[in-house]
Structure 1
Amino acid sequence: MNDTKTALVTGANKGIGFAIAQGLGAIGYTVAVGARDDIKRKEAVERLRAAGIDAFGVALDVTSDDSVTAAVTAIEQTAGRLDVLVNNAGIAGRIDGGAQDPTTLDLDVVRTVLDTNVFGVVRVTNAMLPLLRRAPAPRIVNISSNMGSLTLQTGPILTAYASSKTMLNSLTTQYARQLSDTHIIVNACCPGYVATDFTGFNSPRTPDQGAAIAIHLATLPDDGPRGGFFDDDGVVPW
């Protein structure tokens, strides 16, 4: 087996996901660009390759069992194993008409947000575990948000989104506990409020800055922390 390390980043065609892919590629990882949109995925791969990064596209809709299964096959055929999984794909959900006000909460919006932000993470992680187990030092990084912190209670009231990140943080600890006697290290991180189309580019913080903590957790040493929630300043209170 070759020594090239491969990282899958979901939702990697833009924003923080693209910046994470770029950052991992710059330190020698082959990057699997997971994205639903064929054209945007192809453009992202071309941009990475133009920067000298070894990248390939993987059609991936995290809400689809069939799509995820096909993605596993594609990665196995191209790389043979997976060293890093970054679960970055996420949605905020619609907010019109009080859809994320808890007193008028639209449960269909909650279902839609959870399907990507929580169930999608489980779907992808569990499907990729056999490939991760083939790697000598596998890492899983879940991109969360401090809006999911019950301690901080930060940001606007977006009930579906914030609750999905609280659940993602809880899931992260469950995976870390279950995998505590393996080489697979699982953590969550908050990239901060970054200028992307997700935030209407309404922030001075760049995607590269937001990606830094994810790249750090993706490259932890074997004695690194497990089941934690981190940002640039260290541990985020839950």
Structure 2
Amino acid sequence: MEKYLAGRRALVVGGSGGIGAAVSVALARRGAQLFIHGGHSLDRLEAVAAQARGHTAPVATHLQEIVEPGDAGALLDFAGDVDILVVSFGPYLEGLVGETSPEQWEQMIGLNLNLPALLVSGLLPGMVDRGFGRILLFGGPRTDRNEGYRQIAAYGAAKHGLASLTRSVARQYASRNIRCNMICPGYVDTEYYSEEQKTEIASRQPQGRLISVDEIATLAVRLLDPASESINGAIIPVDIGV
């Protein structure tokens, strides 16, 4: 496998489980030096790191529960100047607009929009200086479309804001060899769903299944491939056509 990320430093926020773990290992296969953040379980974080090291990738880990946007500072201190930023993190909330409390609005916007924005803005100056930067953010279901939601209004609003940020970074920094894209997964087969939930969700999907984390990781590293230089500011749905 071509090590086209050899010599590149990558910070993966939310890298100890689900999509983030799969992306971390995929980056290691391509030769990146990894800085992996995990939020809760040291065992899970170290298990992902061990997988990545199996591909001879240098790996550092950082366990930190993220509770406010200002926690971005500790993540930046941990990784230093990196060439690649992947943010696979963000709490989820269901609820009607009129039943969403001020604290819940603050959490959704703070952690799904402001935190990634602070990470991006904190790393951009170094990327500009080095003449290289790759940023990959994650939206939610249908973030690629301008529509409302029945159940996830606050979460959806934050992710739509993040999509706008993605396009703005792409437009402002393309001339500096910095690219920023977003993947918008549908229902992904992760440990966050119970088996009962997976069965119920799969019954509603066009192909009768959930999306695998490896499908998402494959697209993620493809967006970082030198062969994808023209893909910038893209908001890409991966949802089996739902």
Is the structural similarity TM-score above 0.5?
A: yes
Per the alignment, in what secondary structure is the counterpart of residue 187 of structure 1?
Answer: strand
Contact 2:68/2:110 (<8 A) preserved: yes
| Unaligned residue ranges in structure 1 (runs of 5+) | none
Distance 1:63 1:105, change over 3 A: closer
**Equivalent of 1:14 in 14, 17, 26:** 17
Contact 1:62/1:68 (<8 A) preserved: no
Kindly indicate whether residue 31 of structure 2 is the aligned counterpart of residue 25 of structure 1. no
Per the alignment, in what secondary structure is the counterpart of residue 197 of structure 1?
Answer: coil
Distance 1:131 1:200, change over 3 A: farther
Q: CA deviation at 1:52?
A: 4.1
**Equivalent of 1:148 in 137, 143, 152:** 143
Instruction: Say which is worse superposed, 13-22 or 54-63, in terms of deviation.
Output: 54-63
Kindly indicate whether residue 180 of structure 2 is the aligned counterpart of residue 175 of structure 1. no
Distance 1:214 1:35 in 2: 19
Q: CA deviation at 1:158?
A: 1.1
Contact 2:28/2:53 (<8 A) preserved: no
Residue in 1 that maps onto 2:216: 210
Residue in 1 that maps onto 2:3: none
Alignment of 1:39-188 (within 5 A): 39=42, 40-50=44-54, 52-60=56-64, 61=66, 63-65=68-70, 67-76=71-80, 81-93=81-93, 95=94, 100-151=95-146, 157-188=151-182
Distance 2:106 2:41 in 1: 25
Q: CA deviation at 1:183?
A: 0.9
What's the C-alpha RMSD, in Å, of the aligned pairs? 2.8
| TM-score, normalisation: structure 1 | 0.80
Q: Output the amino acid matched with 1:176.
A: A
| Unaligned residue ranges in structure 2 (runs of 5+) | 1-5, 199-208
Deviation per residue, 1:103-157 (Å, 9 max, x gap) = 4233322211211110110111112223333545321111112332444657x62
Per the alignment, in what secondary structure is the counterpart of residue 189 of structure 1?
Answer: strand
Deviation per residue, 1:165-187 (Å, 9 max, x gap) = 11111111122222132111111
Distance 2:179 2:99 in 1: 39
Q: CA deviation at 1:8?
A: 0.9
Report how many aligned residue pairs link the two structures.
222
Q: Output the amino acid matched with 2:212.
A: T
Distance 1:160 1:37 in 2: 24
Q: Output the amino acid matched with 1:47.
A: Q
| TM-score, normalisation: structure 2 | 0.78
Distance 1:163 1:68, change over 3 A: closer
Contact 2:28/2:55 (<8 A) preserved: no
Per the alignment, in what secondary structure is the counterpart of residue 13 of structure 1?
Answer: coil
Distance 1:43 1:134 in 2: 34
Distance 2:116 2:9 in 1: 18
Distance 1:149 1:171 in 2: 13
Distance 1:215 1:62 in 2: 28
Distance 1:31 1:215, change over 3 A: same
